[in-house]
Chains A and B, each alone.
Chain A
Amino acid sequence: MAQMTVKERMKIPRQDMPVQDEHVRRSNFDEVATGFTPEHVQKEADRCLQCKDPKCIEGCPVGVLIPQFIKALREGDIVKSIEWMKVKNNLPAICGRVCPQEVQCEGKCVLGKKATPVAIGRLERYVGDYELAHRTCPLNKAPRTGKKVAVVGTGPAGLTCAVDLGREGHEVTMFESLHGPGGVLVYGIPEFRLPKSVVFGEINYAVECLGIKVSCDHVIGRTYTLPELLNEYDAVFLGTGAGLPSFMRIPGINLNGVMSANEFLTRVNLMKGYLFPNYDTPAKVGKKVAVIGAGNVAMDAVRCSLRLQRLQAAKTGEDPGEVYIVYRRSRDEVPAREEEFHHAEEEGVIFNFLTNPVEILGDDKRNVRAMRCQRMQLGEPDQSGRRRPVPIEGSEFELEVDTVIMALGTSPNPLVFVDAEGLQRTKWGTTVADQESGRTTKPRVWAGGDVVTGAATVISAMGAGKRAAADMHAFLTGQTTW
């Protein structure tokens, strides 16, 4: 096949991701994006210009060798592509689905300057899914080192750290407080965005190949404390995430029908509440659901809500109702991943921008009946660089709602720090850890992911887990000291 010219490559349009029709998918929890076909992959891979100085890699928190894996793909060598991928990323099927590519790799792609960037995330997912189905790239384990490591938390940070340390031949035990591993990938991210089979496929494979032990139902801080772990293990990694929900400090937050996005999503995802009563945990919403916030968690909650409404309506024959996003800033400041916002819009979510709740109002039975809100306008930029929303005087109004879900961000759960003397934390409750090595202020304890940064992305947690694993390995093999 003759080489394509740059011009020819640039003529190929960015390939659209096939998706379930929005009218169909609103009534099910199946995955929205159904994945590239080999034809899409060929065309999309052909678009890559194979830059001499690839900027995309710089945009990736773990530095995936993007031009290399795409080159192999377009040459039809998917096994080689997976090998390139796995040099830096153990969990491509997950990252391809949940990374905010538009501000990472794809945001740096030179094609994006003139037209649209290469759909790196979609290609990554394709490679990851192929590997999940075919397992062409075994996880090899180095000879046993005799060192024992405890990894607390089985989300993206812990999982990445555990796999890297397992490959180096260390004996790894992961501790999970819930009844199954995966952390936020399982309790937080809905099935329609990240199927649980993908998460469990990755975890089971790692556990099988590397002999990693997973101890569920263990709450570190209660079942065992950190000092107790340090007595039994040579090193400990804390990847406990940011699991503590925030509630607004406004009247009415304890009315019936007000919940945290964490509670709602855990009911729906981890406990499979959308399959109630075949699963025992109920998840329900009313006819007018307001989700406060506009991050990924808010989009997940609002899209779960509209699906639940339709499942409920299928039983009762009534009108399903409406769902709203209530956000105090404007469209431009929406922090959610672009694709999630777009999908939410398609599915019929109503967006109330520049709107801030000041009180939740109840009826005589203490059920939510409305939210008193005020209109906002954007003022001067604040510390985050975004324009600060300021209330417009006299703009208060009532929004009729019966369910309020708060998706206002989360902070690290302090439970793990019980008796953890010498482990320094910030005033926001995050753990102080070296950005490169992940070392905390307590000897033999490393930390990474949301427990250090506060709520961030899956991929940045994976990056932190990977960097910590490298330093832990160096420490465990005597190449460095504490």
Chain B
Amino acid sequence: MYKILEKEVFSDVTKLMVIEAPHVARNARAGQFIIVRIDENGERIPLTIADYDRKAGTITIIFQEVGKSTKQLGTMNVGDSVATFVGPLGHPTEIENFGTVVCVGGGVGIAPIYPIAKALKEAGNTVISIIGARNKELLFWEDKMKAASTELIVCTDDGSYGRKALVTDPLKEILAEKGAAVKKVWAIGPAIMMKFVAAATKPFNVDTIVSLNTIMIDGTGMCGGCRVLLEEGAQFVCVDGPEFNGHKVDWDNLLSRLQFYRKEEQEALQQYDHKCKLDAAVAKGGQ
């Protein structure tokens, strides 16, 4: 069992948790992920590491409540424990002094882009970061991203905070302005955002690294459920990634594979919501 030591609520659906997991923290690096399972009936869900503290033996995760498991995790509090916490999994980000780099974080993808931006800046890069979300509510860690970047651009889809734009808009402007001076782009966020970031950088021929979050069970190369089609063939996100060259990913295949269990995900969520309502009604009735 792994204890929740801290919890921060960024919005109704975005939450941060610091988990006590010294075995994961000791080797954790930017770009890697963990797998969490809430309880004995739970599913194994992969989440990219948002931060780690080797000394304290903790891992920070940030998640958005989209399905039954993340919703249930969101109800847990400091002092509660999760049944499974495995990692660090996948390859860490290759950090070097490349020169000027751009880090793009969309929605809950702001969390995993943070340790990458931070490590890149510490390695001497000029780090231009772009963070964005649908609205102000869903933004977080602006201060931390500011500290981890040389320059930070904030945007929202609806203009409720920062610039009213998609993250690809400032990205294209930067690429047009700086051209070949931008050596690499990292993008983490919803698959559709990463697809469009890759499409935006392609004409500029800038290396674009995306971090994929696919359906996964074990996270160690055993099930192959996470496989992604690249130009060179199928690869496993869990052991070959999670970072890949965004220009080589077959995005439409990835997007369709993410939908495969959609019906079951909805069924699980409905049953969970129903149970929550019943529990609440029972609790109310008991008062």
Contacts and interface: CB of A to CB of B under 8 A. Distances in A.
A284 B215 CA distance: 14
Interface string B219-245: 111111101110000100001000000
B27 interface: yes
Interface residues of A, number: 42
Given A223-B88, A254-B234, A280-B42, A259 B224 contact: yes
Contact of B222 (A272, A365, A413): A413
B268 A365 contact: no
Interface in B40-75: 41-44, 68-69
Interface string A160-177: 000000000000000001
A222 B89 contact: yes
A282 interface: yes
A263 B217 contact: yes
Contacts of B268: 276-277, 280, 282
A284 B263 CA distance: 11
Given A244-B222, A277-B271, 18 more contacts: A179-B86, A216-B84, A219-B219, A222-B89, A223-B26, A223-B27, A243-B220, A245-B222, A245-B223, A259-B225, A262-B224, A266-B222, A272-B41, A276-B268, A280-B43, A282-B264, A284-B264, A366-B253
A219 B217 contact: no
Nearest to B270: A277
B156 to A, nearest CB: 32
Interface of A: 177-179, 187, 215-219, 222-224, 243-245, 247, 253-254, 256-257, 259-260, 262-263, 266-267, 270-272, 276-282, 284, 365-366, 413-415
Nearest to B45: A280
Interface in B238-272: 239, 250, 252-253, 256-257, 259-261, 264-265, 267-268, 271
A366 B253 CA distance: 8
SS class of chain A's interface: helix, strand, loop or mixed?
Answer: loop
B37 interface: yes
Contacts, number: 120
Contacts of A266: 217-218, 222-223
A415 B220 contact: yes
A110 B26 CA distance: 58
14 contacts: A179-B44, A216-B84, A219-B87, A223-B88, A243-B221, A243-B222, A253-B234, A254-B250, A254-B257, A259-B223, A267-B223, A271-B43, A280-B42, A413-B222
A266 B238 CA distance: 16
Contact of B261 (A178, A271, A282, A366): A282
